[in-house]
Amino acid sequence: MRVLIVEDDEVIASTMSRGLTLHGYVVDHVPSAEAASAALLSEEFDLAIVDLGLPQEDGTSLVRRIRRTNKTLPVLVVTARDSLADRVDTLDMGADDYLVKPVALAELLARCRAHIRRARAVASSRVEVGSLSVDLEGRRATVAGESLDLTRREWLVLEYLALNAGRIVSKERLLDAISSAPQDLSLNSVEAVVSRLRPKLGEAARIRTVRGLGYRLDDEP
């Protein structure tokens, strides 16, 4: 799952980035609304975390523009502004949630999970693909009720594919998902993980290779 953090305070951004990365998220950080707009045009994200007190263009303008151009991207505002008027105005202009700094990592993670699940139209923390069931909250997968024995990297790849079930996911995106330092791995690492996952899934769900593009998880025979 890929998160964009828009925060001009390097210390706060670094703390949030480390916490999210340790829990399996791929994190991009930019310090301004202008840089955020460029990032959103060039990459796909599962969630945006936006500070309101940004240099030059204010975070409120960014939130408004995101909601105008992207109806489904969850926007979580994390800011020092704590007035009721700020909360109401920001939520009215399209933010999905509002947290006041300092924010506990456990709460930040819970909000991220909740909004990403909602954006994916997942009613609970469980994604079903064929007879494969992926429990996002419990970080476990089962086939016909039997638990799969997965390594950390296998879980991260399966989780990402499940959240994007039916859609093509590039090898580069999966490489980001399995490592916070992609330069230490290669695309061959992704292929190796997928190769190990396929026999574990059996006929429950298929990880299909889309030549030149990546992989797609679906339940077609």
Q: At CA 104, angle to CA 5 and CA 106, rounded to 5?
A: 90
- What's the pLDDT at 186? 81
Taking the C-alpha atoms of residue 27 and residue 2, their distance in angstroms, rounded to an integer, is 6
- What's the pLDDT at 10? 95
Give me the chain's average pLDDT, please: 88
Residue 184 — very low, low, confident or very high, per pLDDT cuts 50/70/90?
A: low
In this predicted model, what pLDDT tens digit does every residue of 140-161 receive, in sequence order?
999 988 999 999 899 999 988 9
Residue 63 — very low, low, confident or very high, per pLDDT cuts 50/70/90?
A: very high
Q: Is the pLDDT of residue 123 over 50?
A: no
Whose structure tokens read 């990403």?
116
CA of residue 99 relative to chain centroid, distance? 18
Give the three-state DSSP class for 22.
helix
Give the three-state DSSP class for 35.
helix
- Buried residues in 20-33 as b, exposed as e (16+ CB within 10 A): beeebbbbbbbbbb
- What's the pLDDT at 130? 87
Structure tokens at 57: 């263009």
Q: At CA 77, angle to CA 127 and CA 121, rounded to 5?
A: 20
- State the pairing for strand pair 126-129/97-100: unpaired
Q: Is the pLDDT of residue 14 over 90?
A: yes
Task: Provide the percentage of residues in the chain whose pLDDT is more than 70.
Answer: 95
Residue 180 — very low, low, confident or very high, per pLDDT cuts 50/70/90?
A: low
Residue 49, H or E segment: strand 47-50
For residue 102, whether the previous peptide bond is cis, meaning omega lies within 30 degrees of 0, is: yes
Residue 220 — very low, low, confident or very high, per pLDDT cuts 50/70/90?
A: low
Decide: pTM greater than 0.85. no
